[in-house]
């Protein structure tokens, strides 16, 4: 039998390694920007074309590379960060494996221009598919200029599975934000197709968070700071009232590196226990400073999974620090003007004598006296006034009751005790039989109605979601929804990543009846809202719709329309606890059975159930 094991060529091995390191254009930007940070750059520019499919360019003013280093940087496992295995546990840089540039060059066409401060001319190196195309001297400023073109040009399967430009650009913004939030002292710019998306000046950490996510985040931040022998934690957490259903900005960093740590995330959520609703998320930005020997970052190629030696102890420190910060915020005194009906507590005065309270009672009161004689002058006076002002019309009311129809005997048919006019038979589905004009509402949540087979119970909130969803879908297809102009237009500001999603759903929002105008800087003016949703906060509504669209991540227009319509229906639907009149319940039931699907909401939740008559008789039998 001949030998079958053989060494793979370098080009194939590089493509295999690139499959784990370079997953999408955002991965390229992450690696190149981290290298620029490690090179002590003070200004970093990122330019992308077609969300990185066509071109990615990262320009920095760091140390630069010599002619030899520029050529050697594209080799596998070539790095300046570590020298021996022990250095893995004393890392102070973002990169250390020496695989990023080799992986990028294996699946793209790369051009590097770099120069050090000690060199008069720089070096330009061109690499395509792991092969060096050329190297020559060039005139360029100090620093490095990486230009990556035609990503995955030699791996068509990987290029085919890239998402839409909007989705890939959103991934780029997410990776970019995770880096700029760690280094507020560095200036960053980001351009997409020649349009500036971010221009971040050097400043404080709070200012950087505000520049990235908007002024609203800066107003809701609470500082966190704790130092122990095990670790140091600084950063910000948001106020409980800033919690949102989806799209919470949860950011954890350790030694300047972004990490995903569900265990520490749960520690932060635990600190907000009983302060926010279940399922809500609160933004936070927490930075851990830990001894590098106590963590292991060499677990996953993306370096986002990090192991801690003392996870449980740090969990307790983190929870205590967040609770302490929230507690300090909640202790801020506020002026309370709602004092109606509250007992008046006198201010203690040590100079005034304290007298025991004196009881007051009526000595002539006798509970066994039928006449109920009251000697109080006050009650006598009020009673005489009432007698003098008696309206004879009151007597007529009692006369009509006494002269009414005779009371039916108790041995008659119980069904005859309830007389109601005949209800017209509607053309609704045959599920409803001779509907009574009276519906019953249970605990402000369910509407109960009689049907042929038993008792039908309808969830009023979910039923209205189904009704409004189909209404908004029809409006989107017809583009004929009404707009209610706002007396005082409001403004809403998005982060760069949310603005990309908002621009994608903006035509759908216009079809629903929103009147929005772009003010620049990812800020929009809300001039009008769809008719029928008055009373709902339009700013929170739009943020929720963007979060829903971001979570779905869909590109098909019909599916995106469905996501936007469902978000709007959820916000405008009848809330739990709202008391409905009989006419409102009747209209709700009729409109529900006019929908295409009466059983489930658009997201698959049950709307109604039927309690069979046989089960009712069994329970009462």
Question: What CA–CA distance (Å, rounded) separates 95 from 98?
Answer: 7
356: phi > 0 → left, psi -120 to 50 → alpha, else beta; which?
Answer: beta
pTM, entire model: 0.64
Give percent above pLDDT 90 in the chain: 20
Residue 526 tokens, joined: 């809300």
561, 577, 567: which is closest to 547 by C-alpha? 567
Q: Is residue 243 within 8 Å of 280, Cβ to Cβ?
A: yes
Average pLDDT over residues 395-413: 49
Residue written as token pair 């309370």: 336
Lowest mean pLDDT among 154-168, 371-385, 556-570: 371-385
CA dihedral for 25, 31, 35, 38, sign (positive or negative): positive
> Residue 199 above 80 pLDDT?
yes
Give percent above pLDDT 70 in the chain: 75
- Maximum average pLDDT range among 140-144, 154-158, 443-447, 566-570: 140-144
Q: Is residue 484 within 8 Å of 528, Cβ to Cβ?
A: yes
Question: What CA–CA distance (Å, rounded) separates 439 from 448?
Answer: 6
Lowest mean pLDDT among 146-155, 230-239, 544-553, 588-597: 544-553
**Cβ-proximal residues to 361 (8 Å cutoff; 6+ apart), any chain:** none
Question: What CA–CA distance (Å, rounded) separates 380 from 259?
Answer: 80
Residue written as token pair 């002292």: 185
- H or E stretch including 179? helix 165-180
More confident position, 393 or 114: 114
* Count of other CB atoms within 10 angstroms of residue 326: 20
360: phi > 0 → left, psi -120 to 50 → alpha, else beta; which?
Answer: beta
More confident position, 448 or 280: 448
Instruction: Supply φ then ψ for residue 455, to 5 degrees.
Output: -115, 125
Q: For 500-553, what is each residue's pLDDT tens digit? A: 888 888 887 887 778 888 888 788 898 888 776 666 778 877 887 787 777 665
**Cβ-proximal residues to 510 (8 Å cutoff; 6+ apart), any chain:** 516
- H or E stretch including 454? strand 454-459
Supply the DSSP string of 258-286, one letter for each residue. EE--HHHHHHHHHHTTTTS-TT-B--EEE
């Amino acid at each position: 039998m001949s030998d079958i094991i053989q060494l793979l060529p370098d080009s194939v091995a590089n493509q295999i390694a690139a499959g784990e390191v370079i997953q999408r254009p955002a991965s390229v930007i992450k690696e190149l920007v981290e290298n620029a940070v490690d090179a002590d750059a003070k200004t970093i520019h990122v330019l992308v074309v077609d969300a990185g499919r066509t071109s990615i360019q990262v320009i920095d003013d760091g140390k630069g590379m010599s002619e030899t280093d520029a050529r050697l940087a594209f080799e596998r496992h070539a790095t300046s960060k570590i020298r021996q295995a022990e250095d893995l546990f004393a890392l102070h840089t973002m990169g250390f494996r020496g695989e990023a540039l080799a992986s990028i060059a294996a699946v793209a066409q790369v051009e590097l221009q770099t120069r050090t401060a000690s060199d008069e001319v720089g070096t330009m190196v061109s690499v395509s598919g792991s092969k060096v195309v050329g190297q020559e001297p060039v005139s360029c400023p100090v620093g490095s200029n990486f230009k990556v073109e035609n990503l995955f040009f030699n791996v068509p399967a990987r290029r085919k599975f890239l998402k839409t430009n909007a989705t890939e650009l959103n991934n780029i913004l997410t990776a970019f934000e995770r880096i700029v939030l760690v280094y507020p002292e560095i200036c960053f710019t980001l351009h997409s197709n020649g349009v500036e998306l971010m221009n971040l000046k050097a400043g404080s950490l709070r200012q950087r968070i505000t520049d990235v996510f908007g002024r609203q985040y800066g107003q809701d931040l609470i500082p966190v700071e704790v130092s122990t022998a095990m670790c140091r934690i600084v950063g910000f957490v948001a106020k409980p009232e800033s919690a949102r259903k989806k799209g919470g900005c949860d950011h954890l960093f350790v030694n300047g590196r972004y990490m995903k740590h569900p265990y520490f995330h749960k520690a932060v959520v635990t600190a907000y226990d009983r302060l926010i609703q279940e399922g809500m998320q609160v933004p936070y930005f927490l930075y851990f400073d830990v001894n590098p020997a106590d963590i292991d970052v060499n677990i996953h190629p993306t370096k986002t999974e990090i192991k801690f030696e003392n996870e449980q102890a740090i969990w307790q420190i983190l929870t205590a620090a967040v609770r302490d910060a929230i507690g300090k915020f909640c202790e801020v005194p506020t002026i309370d003007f709602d004092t109606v009906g509250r007992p008046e507590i006198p201010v203690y005065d040590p100079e005034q004598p304290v007298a025991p309270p004196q009881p007051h009672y009526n000595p002539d009161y006798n509970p066994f006296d039928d006449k109920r004689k009251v000697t109080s002058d006050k009650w006598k006076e009020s009673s005489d006034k009432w007698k003098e002002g008696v309206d004879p019309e009151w007597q007529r009311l009692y006369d009509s009751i006494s002269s009414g129809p005779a009371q039916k005997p108790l041995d008659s048919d119980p069904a005859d005790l309830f007389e109601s006019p005949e209800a017209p038979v509607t053309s609704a589905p045959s599920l409803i039989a001779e509907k009574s004009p009276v519906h019953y509402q249970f605990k402000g949540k369910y509407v109960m109605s009689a049907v042929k087979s038993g008792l039908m119970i309808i969830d009023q909130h979910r039923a209205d979601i189904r009704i409004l969803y189909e209404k908004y879908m029809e409006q989107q297809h017809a583009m004929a929804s009404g707009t209610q102009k706002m007396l005082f237009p409001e403004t809403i500001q998005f982060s760069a990543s949310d603005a990309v999603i908002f621009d994608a759903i903006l035509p759908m929002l216009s079809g629903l009846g929103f009147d929005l105008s772009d003010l620049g800087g990812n800020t929009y003016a809300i001039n009008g809202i769809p008719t029928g949703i008055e009373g709902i906060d339009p700013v929170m509504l739009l943020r929720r719709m963007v979060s829903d669209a971001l979570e779905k991540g869909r590109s098909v227009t019909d599916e995106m329309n469905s996501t936007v319509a469902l978000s709007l229906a959820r916000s405008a639907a009848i809330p739990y606890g709202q008391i409905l009149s009989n006419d409102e319940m009747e209209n709700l039931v009729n409109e529900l059975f006019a929908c295409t699907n009466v059983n489930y909401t658009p997201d698959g939740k049950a709307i109604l159930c039927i309690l069979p008559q046989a089960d009712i008789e069994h329970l009462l039998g």
